[in-house]
Each structure stands twice: as C-alpha cells, then as structure tokens.
Copies of this chain bind each other. A is one copy, B any other.
C-alpha cells in the first residue's frame, strides 16, 4: 500500500539522461485509475466512450449517460480505499526499479527511461509521447502491463497508441517494438508464486494446508470470448504455470470477477464461487488476483471489502488475499528481465500479435506503426511468451 495517494505530477524517470546516447524508452501501458474524487467522472467517461472496451449502441450519448450515473457510486468506493487509485503510484515505483535493473543487465541499450500511458486516466498516451519526444527518444518499446493479452486491455491500449501517434504527427519520431503478452514468463511466475506464499503465511499454521487458492481474473463478456480473444487461454496458462511452480501444493480454482450487467460474462463468477464455497463449509480461502499487477479497485474494494464481507456472511472462517505484486523487487526484476530479453531478441512482437481474432471487426487491430526495422528487428517474437530461460 502506498504511504500517500496524493497525486504526483508525471515526472517519469528518476535519473537524468546525460550521456551521448538517446535513451531507450519503455512505455508502460495500463488501464490507469482516478487519483482523486474529481478524476472519477472523466475516468468513467473515457471508459464508457471506448468502444474497444465496451461497445454500446449510441456510444457517445449512452456512454456519457452511464458514466455520469455511475460516478457517485464509484466515487464512494474510491473514498473507502483512501480517496483514489494507487495504480499510478505503483506503476511509477515499478518503472523506477525496472529501469535501474535494466541499465545493469542491458547496458548496451542503456540508458533506459520508463513512461506511463494509461488508457483512461492521467498520464494519457499523448502525455507520454510528448515527454518521450522532449527527452530525445528514438527507440521505444511498448510494454503492456497486462500479463495476458486481451483486445479489451492491451489491444485497446495499443490501438490508442497508434491513433495518438498519427494525431500528434509523431509517426517518424520513434521506432517501435512491442511486448504484447507475457503470461507464463518464468520470472513473472516466480514473483506470483512468492506472493501466494506471503498470502498463505496469513493463515494459522494448522489451517495452512487446507487453504483453497482461488485465482480470480477480471471477467470478459462472452461475446469477446466468442470473437476468439486469447485472454481465457492465457489466464489459464498463468494459473497452471504458478501451480506447477508451487508443485501443486494446494487445491485451486480459477474464477472471474467484476462482471457488469447486462452482458453475459465468462464464468465461473468469483462471487458465486465464494457463496458456494461457503455452502460447502470451506474454512480457508486465499484469493489470488492473477491478471493485474498492482492494487486497484478490484483488489482493494471488490475483494478486500465486498468479497471479504460476503465470505464472512457465508461462513468462510479465514478469507485472505495474496498481496498484489506492487513494488515487490522480484516483480520489478521480472519486468526488467522481460524487457532485456525482448531487446536482445530483436523481434518486433510476439508470434500471436498479428493474429487478429477470427471475429474481429476492428480494422485498427494488430497495427504496428514505425517498426524498429532500422535496428535489425525481425517479425514474430517468442521472447515474452515465457519459453526463454531466465537471464
């Protein structure tokens, strides 16, 4: 948890670039979150106006209407978790640690600078691009902070990146490559396994062996699953890799949370699973957020407040949550390692990136403007998909 959630002005990187070499930019893509109560409205509006996330009929009018209607309710939730989302705070700390490690393990591409591009909150993509330009960046890596691909998350962030580059006339400014997924990268899995061990330590020793690990990922509308989105497969792969790392020490389940009506969503629903575990008189449950790398409203409110209360109601004696990766140094090292392998691999993106969903209707998808061809990149990279040995 951050000591303070006071909004911090985007300062990007701790150390100054003084050498003769242009910095290598690592653009960290994520959802973002409102830092104050006043930010909630614009945040929800951007979200409900994004038809790559939530396609609505009469998007402009209905999106604004839904956002306005939900704002007070969501403001109240943020008030209960300290006033705002900590995602900017955590991403900054992750970025700072990551570039420090990167300068050590990849001196040939140093100095490294990180930039943050949130999809629905400050700093937005345009802020990051302006700062990159001001810093004299040429070579840039767009690094999704969602371990598993979904068109709703990484896809929407990348599409926004290409749109903003064109809008700002920055097509020739940077040479890009992408880390578009890393669901089973061994260093990420190692960090996740560590968080689960920390979670297990919260249980009374005598109960620890009987803990059920309830992996929970943000759900996806079934329409997106049916379009062929890779997310369910990749989330499941992460779960399996973590359990293998733990030697299948505990029983586990995978469920999905945060469905929004009236769509049909991928199940089983975490909320329903908690109810049913209560009915089965399960005493010990450790919930493990598996598709997001920082604390956010779905961990701090939905899990820690709403699900914890539900668990009490249905009689689960010990309901705990594995800590989010946040500023865990193992995770920052994992991020650095993923980037270092990517830079060494000289590939533009993963093998999967160019594969549009079979049901895709969005001509924007799977674009790559200004590929980093000049530095000898080739297409298709297995690097970030986890099969490379640890550096």
Contact = CB atoms under 8 A, between A and B. Distances in A.
A351 B248 contact: yes
Given A248-B350, A267-B222, A268-B227, A358 B237 contact: no
Contact of A237 (B240, B269, B280, B355): B240
B184 A244 contact: yes
Majority secondary structure of chain A interface residues (helix, strand, loop or mixed): mixed
B226 A358 contact: no
Interface string A350-362: 1110111011000
A227 B277 CA distance: 11
**Closest CB pairs A-B (n = 9):** A236-B236, A237-B240, A276-B358, A226-B267, A248-B382, A233-B236, A251-B355, A244-B387, A248-B351
Contacts of A359: 268, 272, 276
> Interface residues of A toward B: which range?
35 or more
A369 to B, nearest CB: 21
Nearest to A386: B244
Interface string A187-222: 000000000000000000000000010000000001
B385 A244 contact: yes
B251 A352 contact: yes
Contacts of A272: 226, 358-359
A268 B225 contact: yes
19 contacts: A183-B240, A222-B222, A226-B267, A226-B268, A228-B253, A228-B255, A228-B268, A232-B232, A232-B236, A234-B240, A237-B237, A240-B241, A244-B385, A248-B350, A249-B351, A251-B351, A251-B352, A272-B358, A277-B358
Contacts of A235: 236
Interface in A242-271: 243-244, 247-255, 266-269
A151 to B, nearest CB: 13
B354 A248 contact: no
A200 to B, nearest CB: 14
Given A227-B268, A236-B240, 6 more contacts: A184-B244, A226-B269, A240-B240, A247-B387, A272-B358, A280-B358
Contacts of A352: 248, 251-252
A280 B228 CA distance: 13
A273 interface: yes
The complex is assembled from copies of this chain, and their number is: 2
A228 B214 CA distance: 11
Nearest to A249: B351
Contacts of A228: 253, 255, 268, 273, 276
Nearest to A255: B228
A99 interface: no
A28 interface: no
A239 interface: yes
A236 B239 CA distance: 10
Nearest to A223: B267
A383 to B, nearest CB: 9
Given A225-B268, A268-B359, A355-B212, A233 B254 contact: yes
Contacts of A268: 225-228, 358-359
Nearest to A215: B233
Nearest to A266: B225
Contacts of A184: 240, 244
A231 to B, nearest CB: 10
Residue from A237, A255, A276 having most chain B Cβ neighbours under 10 A: A237
A58 to B, nearest CB: 27
Contacts of A239: 233, 237
